[in-house]
Each structure stands twice: as structure tokens, then as C-alpha cells.
Amino acid sequence: MVLPLGKQAADRPGADEHATLRFGAAWADGAASAVDARLALRAFLAHGPHPAPALIPASLAMDAELVVSELVTNAIRHAPGPCELILRLFRGKLAITVRDTSAEQPAVQKGDRFRVGGHGLRLVHTVSDRVAVAPRARGKQITAYLRLAPNDHVNAGADRTVLAAG
């Protein structure tokens, strides 16, 4: 099931130009795909008011696609049952949330150039400004935050943190 794009408070008189744009998709057990998630992200960014899609550097759009692909792929591989993708765009920032049914906390594996696989979560942390993991009643959610403004991206590395909500 895919929920339509929606702007929070965008149609009210005097609505803030920084209204949050939201998108959600939910897949039944076995129906999720990283390809569908990337396509959803591309469509979502094309509707984003700030910054304009043409002003988002290709490298930042690719970082966002990498994050979506890795988080959805991890949900498919490591969590039984359905998963959800929630995208929020606000003030030039993108929040990518993936919810799954596994209560197991993800762990960033130590880098090993000889290992095949197991590098995705490390990549997510590398390209994101912040990553938060929070338990849910059934499973967990992982949210990666990325700044889409080109000037902010240059200094983003100094602000990258890992949060675990407990």
C-alpha cells in the first residue's frame, strides 16, 4: 500500500513555506523491494518544495537513494513480516524512516575489505548526518537524516552522530 504525498498545513491561509512534505509506503510480508523504495524516493524528491529538486546535488540524491536501498534491504533480509517506508522533507532536510518487525538492534560491523556483504549500515552512517534507532511495540524503526542543501553537505561530516533510543 502506498500513501499519497501530503503537505502538512500547506493549504491553510498563511501556511509556512517550510511545511513538511510526507510520504509513506507499506509492504506486506515479502512484497517490499529496494527498487520500489528508490522509485518512491525519486518521486518524493521531485515534489519537494525546499530545496527545489534541480538544486539538490546529484551526490546528495544518490546518498538518499543509497540510504533507502540499504535500510529497506536490511528490513527484507533480517525482519520477518511487513515493512514501512516513511519519507519527510522539511527545511532542506530529509528524514528516511524504515519500520520493520524485528526487535533486534542493528549493529554497524567493523570494516573488512575482504568480507562480502555487511557494509550497508556502515554506508548509511557514513552518508547520513544522524541515524536514530527506536524500538516499537512490534519491531523497530531506523531513521536516517540527511541535509539536502548543498552548502550544509560540505560540513555535514563533523555533525554525524549515532543515536539509540531506548
What would the pLDDT profile of 39-85 be if each residue is shown by its tens digit? Answer: 999 988 887 665 555 567 888 899 999 999 999 999 998 888 899 99
**89 backbone dihedrals φ, ψ, rounded to 5°:** -120, 125
CA angle, corner 91, sides to 95 and 65, nearest 5? 35
Domains defined for the chain, CATH in brackets: 21-164 (3.30.565.10)
What would the pLDDT profile of 95-110 be if each residue is shown by its tens digit? Answer: 999 999 999 988 777 7
The grid coordinates of residue 133 equal: 534507532
